[in-house]
């Protein structure tokens, strides 16, 4: 067999990102099994991983992990390029942009919970804008804003607390 002329050597960075993205994908798939009353309201457990990556390795890695999670997660769930995938992508992009700004807040005062709540609100914001422009071109979608906002507050708090808790302990399984 002719030896391949292209050889991709994964760096330590690549391996770490792949490992963290895998953790996020597992959470996405596990979460899909939870029955939820409203489409669009999800705990977003994978964001716990994004928050930890952001705090430990910075924004670039967080973007990689989050976007790999969106693509691979929807591929596994059979949702790739379905409306739900684009909503998820829009939400992720919005929350990554917000995290990029919010991470510069003073760490002493604003912990993972703040970042998580900001990201959750940006996520519903991005989703709603896309939904309004493309899927439901009617102001009726905004009728659900209070429900989404409450969900973002609650799940943002919970995810942020879990991320903060996990970062309290010693680093393990990541090099």
Which residues are near another protein by CB under 8 A?
105-106, 108-114, 117-118, 121, 142-143, 145-146, 149-150, 152-153, 156-157, 160-161, 164-165, 168
Closest separation between CB of residue 45 and another protein, Å? 17
Task: Tell me the DSSP string of 26-89.
Answer: HHHHHHTTS--SSTT----THHHHHHHHHHHH-HHHHHHHHHHHHHHHHHHTT-TTSHHHHHHH
Least Cβ distance, residue 114 to another protein (angstroms): 4
- Helix and strand counts by DSSP (H, E) for the chain: 6, 0
CB of 165: closest distance to another protein in angstroms? 6
Rounded Cα–Cα distance for residues 147 and 39 (Å):
11
Nearer Cβ to another protein (72/144) = 144
Residue placing its CB nearer to another protein in the complex, 21 or 117: 117
Per DSSP, the three-state class of 98 is: helix
DSSP code, position 142 = G
Q: Which is nearer to another protein, 76 or 158 (CB)?
A: 158
Rank residues 18 and 145 by Cβ distance to another protein and give the closer one: 145
């Amino acid at each position: 067999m002719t030896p391949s002329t292209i050889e991709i050597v994964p760096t330590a960075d690549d391996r770490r990102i792949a490992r963290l993205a895998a953790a996020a994908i597992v959470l996405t798939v596990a979460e899909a099994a939870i029955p939820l009353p409203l489409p669009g309201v999800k705990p977003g457990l994978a964001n716990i991983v994004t928050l930890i990556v952001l705090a430990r390795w910075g924004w670039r890695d967080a973007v990689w992990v989050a976007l790999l999670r969106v693509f691979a997660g929807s591929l596994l769930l059979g949702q790739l390029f379905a409306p739900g995938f684009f909503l998820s992508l829009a939400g992720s992009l919005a929350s990554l942009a917000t995290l990029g700004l919010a991470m510069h807040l003073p760490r002493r005062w604003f912990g993972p919970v703040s970042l998580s709540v900001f990201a959750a609100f940006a996520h519903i914001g991005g989703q709603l804008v896309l939904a309004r422009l493309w899927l439901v071109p009617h102001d009726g979608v905004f009728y659900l804003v209070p429900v989404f906002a409450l969900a973002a507050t609650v799940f943002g708090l919970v995810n942020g607390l879990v991320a903060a808790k996990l970062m309290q302990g010693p680093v393990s399984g990541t090099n």
